[in-house]
Amino acid sequence: MNYFNYYTEIEETFVRRRGKNLFLSPLDWALMEVWQERGIPLHIVIRSIESVFDVFDKQPPGTRTIKSLFYCRDEIEAQYTEWLAAQAGKGSENGDDNKPVAFSNETVREHISFWTAKVGYAFMFVALPIWLLGFTSWIVGFLIITMVTGLVISIVFQLAHTVEHTEFPMPNEATNKIENEWAIHQVATTANFSTGNKLISWLVGGLNFQIEHHLFPKISHIHYPAISKIIKRTCNDFGIAYREFPKMSQAIGSHVAYLRRLGKAN
């Protein structure tokens, strides 16, 4: 089992058991990314997929086909929970509960990256401009940049989140966890706006495609218009609301209406 190709192994297993050359959807890829980031072992995911299809194969003909990894997520979560419990038991038996957590190489790299970026920012945006232009010119320019950026960013995120019909789910009181899967949560809590305006897309760096930005933050925003069509189609297939305002004026109107509704709330 090739742990270096986490995504490929899962995709090949699903397609093989599915029996057809069915491509995984963007939401499936987002789901796999969540599993990998959470540290769910590859063998747990593969075993769960096999188990789901083993049960499905015993169903009578005409049963709705499995088209997405979302059909397997409950089994994966269940088997992962069992695996964690077993690992915790092994740790207790071996007396590992009090072992210090190792400071991994990944953590070291993250610290180096974080502080390098901070020092680089301070040099490029504070020290160097003061040295070249003087303090007064720098502070005026710096305030203009930060205020304009703050205004633009606040408008973008208000229209992308604080509009009608976007959801604001609260965690379960017993588990303190959000019930929805990560990818569904991203779609439910965001909205796209001004998706037909290429100028606005360029000015805000694709942040008007907020759903795609949340699902695929590492993909260049120039691909968001094409990806959005796939995500919209996938959401329709699974009955998930996909919120979009083709024009910016529509998003502003929805934002104002939402604020008015909040003002009238008891």
What DSSP string runs through 135-158? HHHHHHHHHHHHHHHHHHHHHHHH
Establish if 220 belongs to a structural domain.
Answer: yes
Same domain for 230 and 189?
A: yes
Q: What pLDDT is recorded for position 3? A: 45
Q: Quote the radius of gyration of the chain (alpha carbons, Å).
A: 24
Give the other-Cβ count within 10 Å of 234's Cβ. 21
Cα–Cα distance for residue pair 197/219, rounded to 1 Å = 20
Q: What is the pLDDT of residues 96-133, one digit of tens each?
A: 554 444 445 556 777 788 888 899 999 999 999 999 99
Cα–Cα distance for residue pair 116/119, rounded to 1 Å = 5
Same domain for 208 and 229?
A: yes
The residues near 258 (Cβ < 8 Å, ≥ 6 apart) are 162, 163, 164
Domains: count for the chain = 3
Q: What pLDDT is recorded for position 103? A: 47
186's tokens? 């991203």
Same domain for 79 and 109?
A: no
Same domain for 86 and 122?
A: no
Establish if 170 belongs to a structural domain.
Answer: no
Same domain for 232 and 200?
A: yes
Establish if 99 belongs to a structural domain.
Answer: no
Q: What is the mean pLDDT of residues 24-49?
A: 86
How many percent of the chain have pLDDT more than 90? 49
Q: What is the pLDDT of residues 187-239, one digit of tens each?
A: 999 999 999 899 999 999 999 999 999 999 889 999 999 999 999 999 999 89
Establish if 98 belongs to a structural domain.
Answer: no
Cα–Cα distance for residue pair 32/46, rounded to 1 Å = 12
Q: State whether the Cα torsion 221-180-157-264 is positive or negative.
A: positive
Establish if 7 belongs to a structural domain.
Answer: yes
Establish if 160 belongs to a structural domain.
Answer: no
Helix (H, G, I), strand (E, B) or coil at 203: helix
Same domain for 128 and 194?
A: no
Same domain for 196 and 253?
A: yes
The single-letter DSSP state of residue 247 is: S
Same domain for 7 and 84?
A: yes
The boundaries of the domain holding residue 145 are: 105-153
Same domain for 122 and 142?
A: yes
4's tokens? 């270096």
- 102-110-107 Cα angle (round to 5): 5
The closest alpha carbon to 257, from 133, 162, 136, belongs to 162
Establish if 161 belongs to a structural domain.
Answer: no
Contact indicator for 215, 27 with CB cutoff of 8 Å: yes
Same domain for 82 and 49?
A: yes
Same domain for 55 and 129?
A: no
- 169-173-176 Cα angle (round to 5): 75
Q: Does residue 21 carry a pLDDT above 70?
A: no
Q: What is the pLDDT of residues 51-87, one digit of tens each?
A: 998 888 887 776 667 878 888 888 999 999 998 888 8
Establish if 219 belongs to a structural domain.
Answer: yes
Cα–Cα distance for residue pair 130/242, rounded to 1 Å = 47
Contact indicator for 190, 244 with CB cutoff of 8 Å: no
Q: What pLDDT is recorded for position 255? A: 94
Q: What is the mean pLDDT of residues 153-182?
A: 85
Q: Exposed, middle or buried by CB within 10 Å (0-12, 13-18, 19+), for 129? A: middle
Same domain for 78 and 9?
A: yes
The residues near 76 (Cβ < 8 Å, ≥ 6 apart) are 35, 40, 44, 45, 48, 49
